[in-house]
Amino acid sequence: PTISSSCNLPDLSCSLLGLLYQEYRDKSTREEIETRRLQDSQTDPEETSPSEETPSEAEPTSATENKAPPQINLLRNSNSRFNLWQDLPEVQSSGVLSILQPDEIKLQEAMFELVTSEASYYKSLNLLVSHFMENERLKKILHQSEAHILFSNVLDVMAVSERFLLDLEQRVEENIVISDVCDIVYQHTVNHFSVYITYVSNQTYQERAYKQLLQDKPAFRDVISQLEQDPKCKGLSFSSFLILPFQRITRLKLLVQNILKKVEEKSDRESTALDAHKELETVVKACNEGVRKMSRTEQMISIQKKLEFKIKSVPIISHSRWLLKQGELQQMNGPKTSRTLRTKKLFREIYLFLFNDLLVICRQIPGDKYQVFDSAPRGLLRVEELEDQGQSLANVFILRLLENADDREASYMLKASSQSEMKRWMILLAPNRRTKFVSFTSRLVDCPQIQCVHPYVAQQPDELSLELADVLNILDKTDDGWIFGERLHDQERGWFPSSIGEEILNPKIRAQNLKECFRVHKTDDSQRRKLGSRNRQ
């Protein structure tokens, strides 16, 4: 369908819920956090946890199949702000709530949230297009190529959202008890959601173009500022609208996960949800890979220019290589047996560039350059922590290169600036070392868990960006306030400050989180374990 500057869906009100997607998403995740806090504080979660209730044995639609289904005007109700399915007047007056089992009502809510959140998302996309992109003053300021980088294929994304939303709305209006939504999610993901990959892959250039325009064009800066202050935007920034598609495709996967946790096991609805989740996961991974590829290529070119080789030159740029971590460490001079703590210069600065398949060891030289004096394949690195060595040797570890640039074994005694920095280097230099807590993938132990209550944006390649309500297993932690964790919903690992989260103390809630995670990922878990075992070999 052709997108115009005004909301053109026949059955949709542009004032749906009164909430823009950014507000809707924030409210939804904060409610999720509060629910988990409540569950965690309860002494007997078996009686109170929503997921522990007796599964429904009744057929949910049988109660309504003989009645003419009432029309649910949920998307036309401009007074609605954050409705639950069970709060809809049509649902309450139908008597269906007294017939359905509690688990089926929770499933209805999960499916309903996917639909209403898509409507809220469409409203925000519509505002991005009509209020910002089609603004006449902005059009005159921006060159065509600048506008293309800034807004990319947002019209395609909006058209896809419109088509998706129409199909979802039609399903909801078929029957007061929603039969399923994951079949629709599956069809649209397979046939239309590739537009998200195009949009998100442009993110690196989009961010840079936006910063450059703010810096170079005062007129652009002024217009954007005025548009942001319009009451329509509700105090939200232009950049919060630009990142909507990436946030939505990730959130959609989580909404399907939420449905998957609530459907009957071994049912058709579980099978459909698993299929939809698998396809969404493919799209999300492609989006992430698109962003990474753009930024990694530029980063590798930049690093190559800074390196000067004292040893035989190693080609740095490769399509299959990326940076994991870089930074300064202190190297102990000479063999440790010949040194005392009174030595004037016990340590000397060195600089490491660690890639996914290669370590390069340098010394910094004038002109923002680095002189390479040793290197080794990442697979031939070993690390060992020194413990109880006194204050001057705190945060010191041994790095062994089983085969270095001279085809011989070499050892370095290295000192980090903090305990967390030492552990971060050690985990990346030798990724197969055991961490403090056993990884949850073994599912043999009760692993500590944390839920994110403050969003976090990764500052380093080995850190993990976190959204509100993310739940993670704690694999390691440091005394200076850092945690190495594995996020349950996508099994991504990384470091983050402990201050952004709250530990989940109730062991039954932790066990339930793991059980749900295992169910969501059961189709690809065996493949992951096989891959992990091949990598170790």
pTM to 2 decimal places: 0.77
Give the pLDDT confidence score for residue 516 in this predicted structure.
Answer: 87
User: Beta strand pairing status for 449-452 and 471-477?
Assistant: antiparallel
pLDDT at 326 over 80: yes
CATH assignment of 449-535?
2.30.30.40
338: exposed, middle or buried (Cβ count in 10 Å: 0-12, 13-18, 19+)? exposed
Of 35, 29, 84, the residue nearest 251 (C-alpha) = 29
CA angle 86–87–88, rounded 5-degree value: 95
pLDDT at 408 over 80: yes
Give the pLDDT confidence score for residue 53 in this predicted structure.
Answer: 36
How far, CA to CA in Å, does 204 sit from each of 56, 243, 516? 47, 11, 34
- For residue range 133-167, list pLDDT tens digits in order: 999 999 999 999 999 999 999 999 999 999 999 99
User: CA-CA distance, 324 to 328, in Å (whole number)?
Assistant: 14
CA angle 281–121–243, rounded 5-degree value: 70
Of 294, 263, 274, 114, the residue nearest 197 (C-alpha) = 294
Give the pLDDT confidence score for residue 212 in this predicted structure.
Answer: 95
Give the pLDDT confidence score for residue 446 in this predicted structure.
Answer: 74
Give the pLDDT confidence score for residue 433 in this predicted structure.
Answer: 63
User: CA-CA distance, 201 to 284, in Å (whole number)?
Assistant: 11
Give the pLDDT confidence score for residue 437 in this predicted structure.
Answer: 54
pLDDT tier at 517, thresholds 50, 70, 90: confident
Q: What's the average model confidence in pLDDT over 471-496? A: 93
Of 324, 193, 286, 260, the residue nearest 489 (C-alpha) = 260
Q: Mean pLDDT over all residues of the chain?
A: 83
CA 381, distance to chain mean position in Å, is 30
Q: What's the average model confidence in pLDDT over 364-388? A: 91
Q: How much of the chain exceeds pLDDT 70, in percent?
A: 81
pLDDT tier at 242, thresholds 50, 70, 90: very high
Give the pLDDT confidence score for residue 27 in this predicted structure.
Answer: 85
CATH of range 70-301; options 3.20.20.80, 1.20.900.10, 1.10.620.20, 3.40.640.10: 1.20.900.10
pLDDT at 72 over 80: no
User: CA-CA distance, 384 to 400, in Å (whole number)?
Assistant: 8
In this structure, what are the phi and psi dihedrals at residue 163, rounded to the nearest 5 degrees?
A: -65, -40
Q: What's the average model confidence in pLDDT over 429-440? A: 62
Q: What's the average model confidence in pLDDT over 469-487? A: 93
Q: What's the average model confidence in pLDDT over 485-514? A: 93
Q: How much of the chain exceeds pLDDT 90, in percent?
A: 64
Give the pLDDT confidence score for residue 388 in this predicted structure.
Answer: 63
- For 454, half-sphere exposure in the C-beta direction (CA atoms, 13 angstrom radius) is 9
Give the pLDDT confidence score for residue 524 in this predicted structure.
Answer: 55
Of 103, 98, 161, the residue nearest 129 (C-alpha) = 161
User: CA-CA distance, 187 to 183, in Å (whole number)?
Assistant: 6
* DSSP for 242-300, written as a single string: HTHHHHHHHHHHHHHHHHHHHSPTTSHHHHHHHHHHHHHHHHHHHHHHHHHHHHHHHHH
- For residue range 196-232, list pLDDT tens digits in order: 999 999 998 999 999 999 999 999 999 999 999 999 9
pLDDT at 434 over 70: no
Q: What's the average model confidence in pLDDT over 441-461? A: 81
- For residue range 180-201, list pLDDT tens digits in order: 999 999 999 999 999 999 999 9
User: CA-CA distance, 258 to 84, in Å (whole number)?
Assistant: 15
Q: What's the average model confidence in pLDDT over 69-85? A: 52
pLDDT at 298 over 50: yes
3-state SS assignment for residue 477: strand
Give the pLDDT confidence score for residue 18 in this predicted structure.
Answer: 67
Give the pLDDT confidence score for residue 523 in this predicted structure.
Answer: 57
Per the listing, tokens 């599912």 go with 443
- For 218, half-sphere exposure in the C-beta direction (CA atoms, 13 angstrom radius) is 0
pLDDT tier at 392, thresholds 50, 70, 90: low
User: CA-CA distance, 84 to 385, in Å (whole number)?
Assistant: 53
How far, CA to CA in Å, does 40 sit from each of 36, 51, 55, 499? 6, 13, 22, 18
pLDDT tier at 300, thresholds 50, 70, 90: very high
pLDDT at 362 over 80: yes
**Domain 310-334+345-429 in CATH 1.25.40.10:** no
Domain chopping of the chain, boundaries: 70-301, 310-334+345-429, 449-535
User: Beta strand pairing status for 369-377 and 307-309?
Assistant: parallel
- For residue range 25-44, list pLDDT tens digits in order: 888 888 889 988 988 887 65
3-state SS assignment for residue 440: helix
Q: What's the average model confidence in pLDDT over 406-420? A: 94
